Structure 1
Amino acid sequence: MLLARRGRAVPAEVLLDLVWGDDARRLTATTVHTVVARLRRHLGGDLVRTTDAGYLVPHDVATDADRFAGLVGSGADGSASRLREALDLWVGDTAYEGVRDDLVLAERTRLADLHRRARADLAAVLLDTAGEAEALEALALARTLLADDPLDEGAAVLAMRAAYRAHRQGAALEVHDTLRRTLRDELGVAPGRAVRELHARVLAHDPTLDGPPTGARDRDRDADPATTRPGATPEPPPVALHPGRLVPVPASPTVGRDDDVAVVLGALAEGRRLVTVTGPGGVGKTRLLADVGAALQPHGEVVHVALGAHAALPVDELAASVALATGVPLSGDDPVAGLVAALRTSTATVLADEAEWVLGSAAELTSTLLAGCPGLRVVITSRVPLSVVGERVVVLEPLPTPGPDASAAEVCASPAVRMLAERLADHGAGPTDPSAWGEADLRVLGEVARRVDGLPLALELVAGAGARTPLADLLDVARQPLDLAGAEHGRDDRHRSLRDALSWGVGRLGPGARVVLRRLGVFVGPFTTAAARAVVGPGDPGLDVERAVRELARHHLLRVERTSTTLSFRMLRVVRDLALDELAAAGEVDATRERHRRWFAGVWRDAPLSDDLVEHVGRTHDDHVEALVDALEHDDDVAAADIALALSRRWQFVEASTTGLRWTTRLLGRPGTTRVQRARLRVARAGFLQGADWDDAEHGRLRADLADDPEWSGLLGLVSAITAYVSGDPATARHHIEDALAATVRAPHLLPEVVAAAAVFDATEGDAAAAITGARDALARLGSPVSAVHLVSVVPKAALALLEAGHAREALDLLTSAARDADARFGIRPTNTTTLNAGWAALSVDDPTAALGWFRDSLTGTQTATAAPTVGEAALGAGATLAALGGSGAAELLGLGRLLLAEVGQELPPALEALVARAEEAVGVTAPPAGWDATLATGRVAALVRGAGAQPAR
């Protein structure tokens, strides 16, 4: 227990209760003192320290579990030796074997997932070689993963590839068929795209399956960080770094909603900028929103945000949440103003779901966005309208049902009956086409559809319950008092309670599944079975959480969500409300919420920044924030700091400085964080400030506090070096970059970024040869394909070094390729650093038209720069470009850029400064009016660049 709470003092009385449980009533604190004394004799006196607050194991005490996690985390470099070393550390079936679940369940689950990841990573590495022996070893590893989790599509992909590589096509097809049957029987869904495509390639004897893929191994990641999901094609599948850029895809076809989708699309085509889809809970508003998004995506940018997790948030916090979900960078103290500024030139369509849970704030934010962002459109779902000026309300009704005297043809044509038949067919309980049912069964389908009034969610609940019972038993639901809570929309009394329908569905569950359902109610977003195991916690002997989750999905009480190769689950809000009521009635709220926050505190503790972390924290962002708030409410400062640090890694990646500053500042004011956590939070906060704000004395203290923490020591050196560099102090920058280089000995994953930063300093100091060598060295260390994190953190620095060293064409080609890669593989626009550096490079090779497109790119769209340093640099670049083109506004842009950079005390690198100086000599500088601040200057820069008329360079 002390190891699990490293860095925190635990009173002897608390240890007594935690470790000895019910037996503690017969014991005293002397028992704890005796055991601690024994530990000190065996393991050394410094392992367990005595403080005024209790016993404490220092934060820097390392364990085999730490080494195991570190090796698996660094295994992404394709090193089989690292992964084998990690697997050799694993002893027994589970971590902490023999220790009670209630003491170590979250950590045990985290390590078990890392164990799965290590085996999957090793199998993927082995498949990067051409040997049959390696393919057989990979096949054996994949089969162990499938034995543990038969629904693991990523493991199935590995097994199919390995079997085919080992000349066992039949075995590859058998893996597919087994997975397909299991998915249908357990969840009522078909295999995902990656599995289906690989199956087709196996059948076609695709020759590319005979050897290792070109480039690095193909892989994807589940919603939980510990499971590798290799893709099915030689190139890696997209990674969802910005979940809001992915419109949800329903796991089954939509029935009977073509006309409703057409109404929404027609309203948008007519020029309506706000369309609100209303209707009772369970009528299918969320699914309709997804279908609208799918129709819009080929024609423009679409972003999606679920509002149901943000109940009762004030408008400023809602704005910050929307920005994070959709990958829109925020800066400044006002999230609403920042979001408007970031979207001011956007032509995206925002899809917002479940606004009824945050109605007032949603209405206020929507009204503000529509007023300040003339190209923006919003489609929103809500049980009640927003009552915003210009709102077009589309009322979604339940699916039409057949009348009591309907003919067989009319029953078959009924959308409600068609949907019921589709959902029963998903579970293998009958044909998809209603006309293929017998007349008697068809009458039962029509009666059931009519008795539940065609409500889609009720139809799904009935289908889930009826998949394993005689069809006639479905009529049992007709005897239930159903009320669809439609009175608020003026509907008649035939709409009865959806809650009772849900209660009917829950009542058909076994006792174990009901326990799991109520405890899963604490999740506000998607979760995997690993997260479910950790949060459900101990239960009755023999409680099988994975089986219960599948049962809940079968009964449509959980929604199945897909990535390219994997499954996760989400609870509908109406189901969640019922689950939370049952959780409260069982008296399990506090214990379950504690397990929830422990899981999210531990899942990325001490982990380096990676695509996996960025994606997982983004996908489960709402649960991370929920756990963070819960930890603070319970004064669990250590857990809160761990969660905030994981969130900070993502917030830095997506340029969410406003949110990051607010939370890191708040955590730094908490008394219960550890010394190391406070030092990490200071470094993270400096990143959000875009520069260190400490003096030499505090820097020395931070360096001492992080002496045993190579990851954050390296980041400390890096942020200190960059701060000195942009402030025009190359000597201090060089000093700090040497500290960062020293830290990479124990944190080698940081080396490419540190080498690239050092190359920039070399170029600034005039050592072009060293800069070119360093930049190319940094790029060579990235491997192929380059991760999203490296595209953001390393490639722009290497390109800037090349640009400063006189290799502008090479820099431009590198940045152009990176921008295309970011869009094609990750669905993200290039960062402002990438677009700015590309603009300077294009200007340096005498292509001002392309340069203006790049600078314009940084100031338009859904990732508009709003921070003063970025806007200032873009203004200077655009001004220099317009000077070369002979366009108007050049002198004014140069003056605005100088003002903005002067406000933050930043300077341009020498080569860029030379380009600006040449432009100033040619067209002069028009200073902005006296008294102008950064806000006025930023708005004017955007207007001038937008008016320049250039199209984006990409």
Structure 2
Amino acid sequence: MDGGPRVPEQRRSAAPEDASDAAPAGGSDLRFSVLGPVRAWRGGEPLATGSPQQRALLAALLLREGRTATAGELIDALWGEESPQQALAALRTYASRLRKVLDPGVLVSESGGYAIRSLSPDALDLTAAESLWSDAEKARQTGDLCQARGLLNKALGLWDGEPLANVPGPYAETQRIRLEEWRLQLQETRLDMDLEQGCHAEAVSELTALTAAHPLRERLRELLMLALYRSGRQAEALAVYADTRRLLADELGVDPRPGLSELQQRILQADPALAEPSSPATEPSTNPIKPAQLPATVPDFTGRASFVRELSDVLSAASSEAGTGSVMAVSAVAGIGGVGKTTLAVHVAHAARSSFPDGQLYVDLQGAGARAAEPETVLGSFLRALGTADSAIPDSLEERAALYRSTLDGRRILVLLDNARDAAQVRPLLPGTEGCAALITGRVRMVDLAGAHLVDLDVMSPDEALLLFTRIVGEERVASERKAALDVVAACGFLPLA
């Protein structure tokens, strides 16, 4: 009936079925809790929420966030497959009793079901927790870990024991598991930030208790190992790994995940990078980082004037149309090895730098090699270059790509993806907003890259090849041996690299 945590949308009801649903009044004075026992208050006065089944109905409606739940859905939520014969009558009785307790117009009947409407945005503790979590994520992305930690602590402080405590029914059980899992995720995120800011000694006791309560949760074990190591307790950190490995083998027949094994090896090797927090600074970042990763352009760049003009026009259009609803520009240069794709792209990118004042990203995707770069690895390096802390970089490709696009939103950045294998490798690395542009090189013509401006680069003309050769070896020597010079460039197949 419900998805994961999110900031809810309050919706207005359609025409009510009876007079009791008309014109909401005073709903803003009501407050509710589900992050613990299901309770209700009007101002500071607690309200009677009735029997366990009646509280189950109230909880199911609150967690619907203003949307209507049909009678059938609510019966399934309260009783599941073993609903009593008089379930519908009982449901109507519970709704009638709740309507008398709550303010007029809050519990509405429509389309054969019920909904709770007209509440203030912070009336439900879960909604408040989701809002705090969202603000904490924004603070963390800007580097303000102090603010982010404070907001997460406030969110965690809204829990009052087990969510939906003593509320019966399959829906309540499902939501209880979901909310407990989210609470653990918030705790892991906050503890991760504690370690980033050097609060490892304080984190040990909390992590010890959490790992005891959730022994199979490897992320908690990883954080505990790191906290112990930074507290000068290397042997205990290694003992945590040994205990985790034994437990996973006995319980599940599996080995620890690679991140945990890698941490153990780094502890054994006394990796200096583990000793200090990765982000000790407590002040927020005031200015976004502007990456400048383009390789140097070659001083003897020659010819290709039409290609330079064509690609420059595409990049210029992307920059000049920013803010007008235009689509992010993509240009893909294809050609055989040694034809000068990288040299051309780097030259054009340098010429367009002023059009992308927020920075330029570059990566060699090694598409022509035996092991092409993985998109998630590239996204990790791009996010770091854009100022994202390691701890804020998600694990999955999809989440990294989403964070990458969010980070680029509102910025004008040029991304040069050199030596790409195919369109599938490139797609997750493309910006998603106007004002940005991507310039791609590869040996494969990327006809399946939607919206890309395709450029096919051939070998140089004899005149261009001779001019390049002249700039390399010197005009005087070529002038005295022009025929020999022509033979050399012809023997090289007019390939710039050769």
**Larger helix proportion of the pair:** 1
Normalised TM-score (structure 1): 0.27
Q: What TM-score comes out, normalization by structure 2 length?
A: 0.49
From the two aligned structures, give the one with the greater strand fraction.
Answer: 2
Name the structure, 1 or 2, with higher relative contact order (CA <8 Å, separation 6+): 2
* Structure with the greater alpha carbon radius of gyration: 2
